[in-house]
C-alpha cells in the first residue's frame, strides 16, 4: 500500500479548500486534513500593540498536532474512512487503486519543516492584493476581522511567509487563484496523475 501526500497551501481565500473538496470527490482513496482545524483558541493567540490578534503566524496553530494527524493517517490510511467511490473525471484512475492520497490544505504548510517534508507534491495559491482583499471582505470569520486587519496583519504575513518560501523551499508549484476552478482542477489532477505514475514505477 502506497501513500501520496499533496499539499495545497498559499494565500487566504485563494481557493485551497474548494480545490481540496473537488479533488477528494474525484480521486479514489482520498482524504483531507485542513489546517483551519488546528488553530489555537482565541485566548491563546497573541495580540499585538495595535490590538490585532495574530492568527496568520505559525504560533497561532497547533502545528505538532497537525503533523501528528498526518503521520497517523500515513500509518493506517485505509482506516480513516476514505471514500473509495468517486466521480471519476481524472484520467487513468484505475492505476490509483492501491494508492491512498491525503490532501493537506492550509495557508502555512511549507514554512514548518516537519510538515513540509511529508508532502510529495506542493501547490501554492497566489492572488493579487486587490482580489485577495475583495474576497476576504466577503467572508465571515469567527472572530471577525477588525478594521485594518487585512492590511495590518493578514497581507504582510502572507508576503513574509511567501518570501521565506521562495528562499528556502523547493519543488513548489504555484497556482494562480484568479483562474477558474475547472482550470485549476484539471491542471492539478493531471499533475497528480504524473506523481502516481512515478509511485508505481
Roughly what angle, to the nearest 10 degrees, separates helices 16-26 and 181-200? 50
What is the average per-residue pLDDT within 178-186?
A: 95
- What are 5-40's pLDDT values in tens digits? 999 999 999 999 999 999 999 888 899 999 999 999
Residues 6+ apart with CB under 8 A from 19: 8, 105, 181, 184, 185, 188
Q: Where are the beta strands (DSSP E) in the chain?
A: 2-10, 30-34, 99-105, 121-126, 172-176
Predicted confidence at residue 90, as pLDDT, reads 54
Residue, of 88 and 76, whose pLDDT is higher:
76
- Cα separation of 70 and 33, whole Å? 8
Checking if the pLDDT of 83 tops 80, the result is: no
Checking if the pLDDT of 81 tops 70, the result is: no
Residue, of 169 and 116, whose pLDDT is higher:
116
Checking if the pLDDT of 69 tops 50, the result is: yes
Give the rounded percent of residues in the chain with a pLDDT score beyond 70. Answer: 91
What is the average per-residue pLDDT within 51-80?
A: 92
Predicted confidence at residue 80, as pLDDT, reads 60
- What are 88-128's pLDDT values in tens digits? 545 555 555 678 999 999 999 999 999 999 999 999 999 99
Mean pLDDT, the chain, whole residue set: 89
Half-sphere exposure of 94 (CA within 13 A, CB side): 1
Predicted confidence at residue 117, as pLDDT, reads 94
- Cα separation of 50 and 53, whole Å? 9
Domain 17-80+92-98+106-196 has CATH 3.40.50.300: yes
Checking if the pLDDT of 71 tops 70, the result is: yes
Per-domain boundaries in the chain:
17-80+92-98+106-196
- Calculate ∠ Cα 174-121-25, nearest 5°: 95
Question: In which band, very low, low, confident or very high, does the pLDDT at 84 lie, cut at 50, 70 and 90?
Answer: very low
Question: In which band, very low, low, confident or very high, does the pLDDT at 86 lie, cut at 50, 70 and 90?
Answer: very low
Q: Return the active site residues.
A: 36
Write down the residue that cell numbers 492590511 correspond to: 151
Amino acid at each position: 500500500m502506497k501513500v501520496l501526500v499533496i499539499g495545497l497551501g498559499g494565500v487566504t481565500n485563494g481557493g485551497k479548500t474548494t480545490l481540496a473538496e473537488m479533488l477528494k470527490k474525484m480521486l479514489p482513496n482520498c482524504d483531507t486534513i485542513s489546517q483551519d482545524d488546528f488553530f489555537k483558541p482565541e485566548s491563546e493567540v497573541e495580540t499585538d500593540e495595535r490590538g490585532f490578534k495574530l492568527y496568520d503566524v505559525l504560533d497561532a496553530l497547533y502545528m505538532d498536532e497537525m503533523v501528528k494527524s498526518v503521520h497517523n493517517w500515513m500509518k493506517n490510511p485505509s482506516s480513516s474512512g476514505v471514500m473509495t467511490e468517486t466521480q471519476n473525471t481524472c484520467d487513468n484512475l484505475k492505476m490509483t487503486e492501491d494508492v491512498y492520497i491525503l490532501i493537506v490544505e492550509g495557508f502555512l504548510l511549507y514554512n514548518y519543516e516537519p510538515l513540509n517534508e511529508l508532502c510529495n507534491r506542493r501547490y501554492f495559491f497566489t492572488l493579487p492584493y486587490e482580489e485577495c482583499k475583495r474576497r476576504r471582505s466577503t467572508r465571515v470569520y469567527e472572530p471577525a476581522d477588525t478594521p485594518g486587519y487585512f492590511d495590518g496583519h493578514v497581507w504582510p504575513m502572507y508576503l513574509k511567509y511567501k518570501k521565506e518560501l521562495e528562499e528556502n523551499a523547493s519543488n513548489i508549484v504555484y497556482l494562480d487563484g484568479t483562474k477558474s476552478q475547472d482550470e485549476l482542477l484539471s491542471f492539478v489532477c493531471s499533475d497528480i496523475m504524473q506523481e502516481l505514475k512515478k509511485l508505481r514505477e
